[in-house]
Amino acid sequence: MQVPARFEYERANSVPHALALLERHGPESRVIAGGHSLIPMMKLRLARPEVLIDINGLAELSALGVEGDALLVGALVRHAELLADPEVGRYFPIFHDAERVIADPVVRNRGTVGGSLCQADPSEDLSAAFAAVRATALVQGPGGVREVPIRDFHRGPYETAVEPGELLTGLRVPIRPGAGSAYEKVERRAGDWPVAAAGSLLRLGDGVIAEAGIGLTAVGAEHFAAPEAEAYLVGRAPGAAAFAEAGRIAAAHCNPRADQRGPAAYKRHLAGELVRRVLTRAAARAGSPEGEE
Amino acid sequence: MTEGTTAAPMGFGRMHRKEDARFVRGRGTYVDDVRLPGMLHGAILRSPYAHARIVSVDASAAEAHPGVKAVITGETLAGMGLAWMPTLSADVQAVLATDKVRYQGQEVAFVVAEDAYTARDALELIEVEYEPLEPVIDARRALDEGAPVIRDDVEGRTGNHIFDWEAGDREQTDAVFERAEVTVAQDMLYPRVHPAPLETCGAVADFDRVTGKLTVWCPTQAPHAHRTLYALVAGLPEHKIRVISPDIGGGFGGKVGIYPGYVCAIVGSIATGRPVKWMEDRSENLMSTAFARDYHMRGEVAATRDGRILAIRVKVLADHGAFNGTAQPTKFPAGFFGVFTGSYDIEAAHCEVTGVYTNKAPGGVAYACSFRITEAVYLVERMIDVLACELDADPAELRMKNLIRPERFPYTSPTGWEYDSGDYPRALRLALDMAEYDKLRAEQAERRRGGGPLLGVGISFFTEAVGAGPRKHMDILGLGMADGAELRVHPTGKAVLRVSCQSQGQGHETTFAQIVAHELGVSPDDVEVVHGDTDQTPFGLGTYGSRSTPVSGAATAIVARKVRERARLVAAAMLEASPDDLEWSVSETGGRWSVQGSAEHGRSIQEIAMAAHSNLELPEGVEGHLDAVTVYNPPNLTYPFGAYVCVVEVDPGTGQVKVRRFTAVDDCGVRINPMIVEGQIHGGLADGVGMALMQLMAFDEDGNHLGASFMDYLLPTSMECPSWELGETVTPSPHHPIGAKGVGESATVGSPVAVVNAVLDALRPYGVRHADMPLTPANVWSTLQGEPLRTDLAIT
């Protein structure tokens, strides 16, 4: 039987309370939300926090919906909620594409958006999706809320911009009317972590690409993004050749490592292939005749 | 219904499983549900190294930890003569390491504490000093000159060679190869996989210091064999040992042997005088309990240019891990791999198998492999497709041309196996018709012209050899592979059947009740099946190798017939007639003996049972009641078979494979409960998809296990499985009392190669002839680049 080492447990009843508990218990405490990464690691004794601070009761972190010209996703929104929300699907089909291939329904019912991003696993699907749409992370500390562009949020594997004593409270994603987005993942089996995955957002104007966002995960892409490929696309007409070239550029700039999911050359190939595919699909969703669902 | 010759299932057919009433309510009792007063909890410290010398073990801090009751080390056990235990292959295995550790995850020390948390905490306080040694990870290097010697515990051992074994006629085979028009050869690996049962292994041991009786609850597929082994190893008197195998959450062969944890729990209970529970976790299960396969094979086929197969030649390097612990009949070190000529009428065949030690966990026979028939079927069915490639022949036609014809049965194979019965062409034709094979080939041709996902069609035809076995040829550690059955009939005619096998999900409580019900003309609800408790059941070797219905099922039918014959004598006394004048009949009201030609002069089985317990003057040969006992020693194995067709789509841009359809025609002789048969086939087909596409148990160069969790060792889900399309033919076994053949492992044996053949068929336009399992997206893509992965080693 896998059993964790000894730990204490605190239940937060508000965000300020959670922040106070974080301050009181210091760096050996960990926030727990869905627990789908932290608890398995504790049972394997790879993680041994002295105190767990449970934020599951914080309703103020569960908001999900359009606020002004942005989509607001609370940190405690469960994967299943993001997947079920029709507004999310209308403005950002990338999230529904991604959520359909994240883990399984049991995990999605409990796991949270904020937990996924804060775990900062280098293979996290949502990290790539939020990078593609250039979200803004809302991080609250004793001094108030600060806004962190998502591409500054992830500092490296398992490392984020959330400082000790701070809490990710939510994400804001600007809505671009008419934009298309998509996500595609290669996995060894339903529910597995990605071998590689890519997401994209395309906004078209005057027959050319006005904005391109590309997210990549599991292939060692810095900040889960492909800025060189994005820069290549902006101002160009959408089309198969441009998308393939963007894929090549993205593949050239990522840094995949071999593991049991595949050799580095294969993952690099996938980065290019998947970027090409999600751009093609995003273009179709943005209304381009060059796209393909 | 004529016994044993009918195509219809036996009486009561698709009745619901009796055991499900408790399982669907969550009321099963598994080992971890056993909670005894005063029970302590054990945990095992395992080696982080694949190969290292143990310099010292210091358990003092753990012993001083609050709540710890005992710490047992290899040294403790050595003092009791229990540091090593015999394996099922006449080797020895360390219970707790004394000299060296020989695989990552090997057992080093055992802590007994008040609760599982404390036991786990205390493991971290044990200080072990290791001196790391170079490990042997690649089986192909195990016999190299200068390779580290893993088993230096055996005096005089200078290398890692375990055994050589051969079958068939080498000279005759070589001669056929010499003159053959066409020969093909292919290297292939059946990689190491793990049965990964939902319930991991564990034990509760309770040694009673007053009575000297030891009771062990553990999920064993062979409770009686365990009891005898405990008696022989530990020197405990056998009548003072009771092994109880409660509900088991899946076995697949991985719960046949005795694991070090069981012995540790027993020693812990003896040492503390209290019951001790030990339950392994998932990683422990995957790292240390019986793996399966790990056969590095080279197959060769000799044929005529028009596709007549003449001979097969095979060389195998078998990776047995650090201890030779495979569970198989003594005379068969390579299991039943000798049936590698498969379902084909072949002139000559020869194989050589060499077993080697490596720094990996012991095992080899598990995961529903029918004692290595899985490897044999994989080899021959892959070779048929390789030959089809070479001849540019259709793989279905090539199989049809070479299948053993029905008139050839009983058929003696070139390696000496006597196949009992079969109509192979009928089964293959049915499978091809169900799958609409010609249409599939037309669609494939269309796709190859038009682009899009690649379409692949794979076929396998397998023959199983199950129901081990005739005790003259087959034993495990000297225990003949026969099984017992006892049938008690209470005065009201309700019956209790006691059998030596033990269900791990096969539904014995239902099917064996159905056999008795059929033979006695009673309702299956009136028959209770008792199994899994050595104090309550007759001796026998248990459930594995698809042997329950072929052996225990036969014992059940025979013991019921014995009861029926005793009932005849009692009925004759009741009717004041001669037993010879009575005839047996089963009508809607049940079974009865009556005077020939006058059915009204009869007695029901219930009336007879009551009379057998009454003041009726009993005839000669009946002391009272109807109870009977038997032991069944099978005259031959039974040979189920089947034809499978798998259809896949492959995305050449990503290497992803989707199984679109799977058609499985199985012939397991007479079916008792077709629903249960189909359930077992569904499970085996899912297993096959898993092995073919995702189950990966590789080791890096240091011997680190790279598949030690369900994040790394993937089991298939419903998302990877199509809706199975099943068909059947029925060819009864001529020597089994009810004509049944066994089916538990058929689909696991037959399906992996159908999936592999389908994927490789899809890749054929790329010049691909072979790639090893698992055909993960990475492996498929690498194969398309001309560089298939070596799947037993770390991907670099």
Question: Are the CB atoms for B150 and B160 separated by under 8 Å?
Answer: yes
Instruction: Classify strands A144-149 and A136-141 as parallel, antiparallel or unpaired.
Output: antiparallel
Q: A261 to chain B: which residues are within 8 Å by CB? A: 776, 778, 795
Closest by CA to B753, choosing from B367, B252, B372, B382, is: B382
The dihedrals phi and psi of B549, each to the nearest 5 degrees, come to -70, -45
The pLDDT tens digits for B666-720 are: 999 999 999 999 999 999 999 999 999 999 899 999 999 999 999 999 999 999 9
Our CA-based measurement puts residue B84 at a distance from the nearest CA of chain A, in whole angstroms, of 25
Instruction: Classify strands B107-113 and B68-73 as parallel, antiparallel or unpaired.
Output: antiparallel
A94 token code pair:
């990338």
Q: Do A258 and B795 touch (CB under 8 A)?
A: yes
The pLDDT tens digits for A192-207 are: 999 999 999 999 999 9
Q: A7 to chain B: which residues are within 8 Å by CB? A: none
Q: Name the residue range of residue A230's domain.
A: 194-285
A131 within a domain of the structure (yes/no): yes
CB atoms within 10 A of CB A157: 10
The dihedrals phi and psi of B443, each to the nearest 5 degrees, come to -65, -40
Question: Are the CB atoms for B502 and B496 separated by under 8 Å?
Answer: no
Averaged pLDDT for residues B123-143: 98
CA dihedral over B192, B193, B195, B197, signed as positive or negative: positive
- B696 inside 8 A of chain A by CB: yes
Q: Do A6 and B655 touch (CB under 8 A)?
A: no
Q: Which residues pair with B92 in a beta bridge?
A: B86
Q: B717 to chain A: which residues are within 8 Å by CB? A: 104, 189-191
Q: What contacts B669, CB < 8 A, 6 or more positions away?
A: B421, B638, B640, B730, B731, B732, B733, B736, B739, B740, B741
- B701 inside 8 A of chain A by CB: no
Question: Are the CB atoms for B307 and B393 separated by under 8 Å?
Answer: yes
Question: Are the CB atoms for B161 and B354 separated by under 8 Å?
Answer: yes
In this complex, the residue of A45, A262, A277 whose CB is nearest that of residue B778 is A262
Cα separation, B552 vs B633, in Å, equals: 10
The 3 state secondary structure assigned to chain A is CCCCCCCEEEECCCHHHHHHHHHHHHHHEEEECCCCCHHHHHHCCCCCCCEEEECCCCHHHCCEEEECCEEEEECCCEHHHHHHCHHHHHHCHHHHHHHHCCCCHHHHHHCEHHHHHHHCCCCCHHHHHHHHCCCEEEEEECCEEEEEEHHHHEEECCEECCCCCCEEEEEEEECCCCCEEEEEEEECCCCCCEEEEEEEEEEEECCEEEEEEEEEECCCCHHHECHHHHHHHCCCCCCHHHHHHHHHHHHHHCCCCCECCECHHHHHHHHHHHHHHHHHHHHHHCCCCCCCC
Our CA-based measurement puts residue B778 at a distance from the nearest CA of chain A, in whole angstroms, of 5
CA dihedral over B126, B131, B136, B137, signed as positive or negative: positive
Residue A78 sits in the same domain as residue A154: yes
ipTM of the complex: 0.97
Cα separation, B111 vs A176, in Å, equals: 61
Q: B712 to chain A: which residues are within 8 Å by CB? A: 260
Closest by CA to B89, choosing from B143, B163, B17, is: B163
Share of chain B above pLDDT 70, in %: 99
Query: In Å, how far from its chain's centre is CA B276?
Result: 29
Q: A263 to chain B: which residues are within 8 Å by CB? A: 778, 782, 789, 795-796
pLDDT of residue B432: 98
Q: Do A190 and B717 touch (CB under 8 A)?
A: yes
Q: A269 to chain B: which residues are within 8 Å by CB? A: 781
Averaged pLDDT for residues B67-94: 96
pLDDT of residue A1: 75
The pLDDT tens digits for B373-401 are: 999 999 999 999 999 999 999 999 999 99
Question: Are the CB atoms for B376 and B337 separated by under 8 Å?
Answer: yes
CATH number at residue A28: 3.30.43.10
Our CA-based measurement puts residue B116 at a distance from the nearest CA of chain A, in whole angstroms, of 7
CA distance to B115, B772, B789, per residue, from B763 (Å): 55, 13, 15
B337: helix, strand or coil: helix
Question: Are the CB atoms for B310 and A32 separated by under 8 Å?
Answer: no
Query: In Å, how far from its chain's centre is CA A253?
Result: 20
Cα separation, B705 vs B289, in Å, equals: 13
Question: Are the CB atoms for B329 and B474 separated by under 8 Å?
Answer: yes
H helix runs in A112-263, sequence order: 113-119, 125-132, 150-153, 227-233, 240-253
Q: How many residues does chain B have?
A: 796
A293 within a domain of the structure (yes/no): no
pLDDT of residue B4: 33
The pLDDT tens digits for B333-343 are: 999 999 999 99
Our CA-based measurement puts residue A152 at a distance from the nearest CA of chain B, in whole angstroms, of 29
- B710 inside 8 A of chain A by CB: no
CB atoms within 10 A of CB B502: 30
A2 within a domain of the structure (yes/no): no
Most A CBs within 10 A among B118, B791, B795, B796, hence the mutation to make, goes to B795
Share of chain A above pLDDT 70, in %: 100
CB atoms within 10 A of CB A216: 33
Our CA-based measurement puts residue A90 at a distance from the nearest CA of chain B, in whole angstroms, of 26
A234 within a domain of the structure (yes/no): yes
Cα separation, B683 vs B745, in Å, equals: 9
pLDDT of residue B600: 81
Q: What is the CA radius of gyration of chain A?
A: 19
The pLDDT tens digits for B575-626 are: 999 999 999 999 888 999 999 988 788 999 999 999 999 999 998 888 899 9
Residue A124 sits in the same domain as residue A218: no
- B654 inside 8 A of chain A by CB: yes
User: Considering only CB atoms, which residues of chain A are within 8 Å of chain B?
Assistant: 1-3, 5-6, 44-45, 104, 186, 188-193, 195, 258-263, 265-266, 269-270, 273-274, 277
According to CATH, the superfamily of the domain at B34-133+198-250+255-288 is Aldehyde oxidase/xanthine dehydrogenase, a/b hammerhead (3.90.1170.50)
Size of interface A-B (CB pairs under 8 A): 80
Q: What contacts B470, CB < 8 A, 6 or more positions away?
A: B481, B633, B634, B635, B636, B637
pLDDT of residue B8: 60
In this complex, the residue of A3, A186, A260 whose CB is nearest that of residue B120 is A3
The pLDDT tens digits for B257-274 are: 999 999 999 999 999 999
The pLDDT tens digits for B13-38 are: 999 999 999 999 999 999 999 999 99
User: Mean pLDDT in chain B?
Assistant: 96
Q: Which residue of A has its CA nearest to B775?
A: A188
In this complex, the residue of A186, A191, A266 whose CB is nearest that of residue B782 is A266
Q: Which residues pair with A284 in a beta bridge?
A: none
Residue A50 sits in the same domain as residue A70: no
Q: B655 to chain A: which residues are within 8 Å by CB? A: 186, 266
The pLDDT tens digits for B707-762 are: 999 999 999 999 999 999 999 999 999 999 999 999 999 999 999 999 999 999 99
B85 token code pair:
């235990």
In this complex, the residue of B116, B717, B795 whose CB is nearest that of residue A262 is B795
Question: Are the CB atoms for B464 and B641 separated by under 8 Å?
Answer: yes
The pLDDT tens digits for A155-171 are: 999 999 999 999 999 99
Range B291-468+636-784 classified under CATH 3.40.220.10: no
Q: Which residue of A has its CA nearest to B778?
A: A262
Ramachandran assignment for B109, one of left (phi > 0), alpha (psi -120 to 50 degrees), beta (any other): beta
CA atoms within 13 Å, Cβ hemisphere of B276? 29
In this complex, the residue of A5, A193, A260 whose CB is nearest that of residue B795 is A260
pLDDT at A263 over 50: yes
The pLDDT tens digits for B471-480 are: 999 999 899 9
Q: Do B720 and A266 touch (CB under 8 A)?
A: no
Q: Do A186 and B777 touch (CB under 8 A)?
A: yes
CATH number of B20-27+482-632: 3.30.365.10
A187 within a domain of the structure (yes/no): no
Cα separation, A143 vs A128, in Å, equals: 29
Instruction: Classify strands B454-463 and B475-476 as parallel, antiparallel or unpaired.
Output: unpaired
Q: Do B795 and A259 touch (CB under 8 A)?
A: yes
Question: Are the CB atoms for B512 and B652 separated by under 8 Å?
Answer: no
In this complex, the residue of A5, A189, A273 whose CB is nearest that of residue B716 is A189
**Residue ranges of domains in chain B:** 20-27+482-632, 34-133+198-250+255-288, 291-468+636-784
Most B CBs within 10 A among A39, A104, A123, A188, hence the mutation to make, goes to A188
Q: In which band, very low, low, confident or very high, does the pLDDT at B9 lie, cut at 50, 70 and 90?
A: low
Q: Do B789 and A263 touch (CB under 8 A)?
A: yes
CATH number at residue A256: 3.30.390.50
User: Are both B20-27+482-632 and B291-468+636-784 of the same fold?
Assistant: yes
CA-angle at B72, arms to B106 and B256, nearest 5°: 50
pLDDT of residue B24: 95
B737 token code pair:
């009392």
B532: helix, strand or coil: coil
A164 within a domain of the structure (yes/no): yes
pLDDT at B2 over 80: no
The dihedrals phi and psi of B604, each to the nearest 5 degrees, come to -75, 160
CA dihedral over B516, B517, B522, B528, signed as positive or negative: positive
Closest by CA to A169, choosing from A190, A146, A150, A191, is: A146
Q: In which band, very low, low, confident or very high, does the pLDDT at B412 lie, cut at 50, 70 and 90?
A: very high
CB atoms within 10 A of CB A50: 14
CA dihedral over A48, A50, A53, A54, signed as positive or negative: positive
Q: Do A104 and B656 touch (CB under 8 A)?
A: no
Q: Do B654 and A186 touch (CB under 8 A)?
A: yes
Residue A148 sits in the same domain as residue A223: no
Q: Do B719 and A189 touch (CB under 8 A)?
A: yes
pLDDT of residue B498: 98
Tally the domains of chain A: 3
In this complex, the residue of B282, B717, B778 whose CB is nearest that of residue A189 is B717
Q: What contacts B317, CB < 8 A, 6 or more positions away?
A: B139, B140, B295, B296, B297, B354, B356
**Residue that has been written with the tokens 């047996």 in this structure:** B584
Q: What is the CA radius of gyration of chain B?
A: 27
Q: Which residue of B has its CA nearest to A192?
A: B711
Ramachandran assignment for B172, one of left (phi > 0), alpha (psi -120 to 50 degrees), beta (any other): alpha
Q: Which residue of A has its CA nearest to B121?
A: A5
Residue A156 sits in the same domain as residue A232: no
B636: helix, strand or coil: coil
Cα separation, B591 vs B584, in Å, equals: 7
Cα separation, B606 vs B612, in Å, equals: 10
B625 token code pair:
């009641």
Residue A81 sits in the same domain as residue A170: yes
Most A CBs within 10 A among B120, B654, B658, B721, hence the mutation to make, goes to B654
Cα separation, B392 vs A37, in Å, equals: 51
Residue A69 sits in the same domain as residue A170: yes
